[in-house]
Amino acid sequence: MKSDIIDLYVSTVKNKMKIFAIVNQKGGVGKTTTAVNLSAALTELGKRVLLIDLDPQANTTSGLGMEAQQGMSLYPVLISEKAIEDQIQRTPYADLDIITSEIDLAGVEIELAALESPIHRVKETLEPMRSNESYDYAIIDCPPSVGILMTSALVAADGLIIPVQCEFYAMEGVTKIMDLVSKMEALNPSLSICGVIMTMYDARTRISQQVVADVREYLGNMVFETVIPRSVRISEAPSFGEPITKYDQWGIGSRNYRALAEEFVQRLEGVQAEA
């Protein structure tokens, strides 16, 4: 909703870097694909992006042609063994840096549970980056499970980006994620939903058309106008370690992710112009 987006701008205007979590408790909805390709498309608009892979599966890491390395993730920062600046790596793409993932992240929740206020650990970790003028956005790819890592990312985030697959159970997933956001309100009162992205859309099928219509009716302008199509080229790109904007520069997937990036920026900076 528009008021959510205005709140998002007002709550982050004093800070250079804004933090967005890409979240859905359901796997296979295009969360990682969106994290990689939206980040890459934003850099083409002149934005500087820090992509954070918080999923132990490390698909965002490999999707940018990077390797998961022990000790090179947010894990040692979360347990206070390293500074966050030491974990940032360059990617092959200009203005796009990454904090990669590693398998050790799978066990970090056990260690965090022993700390005081573990739910605030990601926020405390990212706080020094707030005033870092190296980046416009930090985008967190969250794990597809409601655990300490995901909920900590929600506490840290200024806004949420929610991918929703155009499938039969989409509305059920949307309802669950909205319930989760409501429960997070006490821990992060300024948390806003930047937008819901309809993914894996197939215009030839009635189910895709109906799901988009139903979600738009339920959530209104919270849903991005841009939809992400089901595409073989989008599916292939991660195996080559490239975002779709590099792998298939002028294909429909690239065009739609570029359109999504433009809409994303307009939602934020358009609000700035009105505020």
Q: How confident is the model at residue 114 (pLDDT cuts 50, 70, 90)?
A: confident
Q: For 139-197, what is each residue's pLDDT tens digit?
A: 999 998 888 899 999 999 999 999 999 988 888 878 888 888 888 888 998 888 999 99
Q: What is the reported pLDDT for 7? A: 52
Alpha-carbon gap, residue 40 to 176, rounded angstroms: 29
Bridge partners of residue 20, in order along the sequence:
139, 159
Neighbouring residues of 60: CB distance < 8 A, sequence distance ≥ 6: 32, 35, 36, 51, 53, 98, 101, 141
pTM over 0.85: yes
Q: For 54-73, what is each residue's pLDDT tens digit?
A: 999 999 999 999 999 999 99
Mean pLDDT of the chain: 89
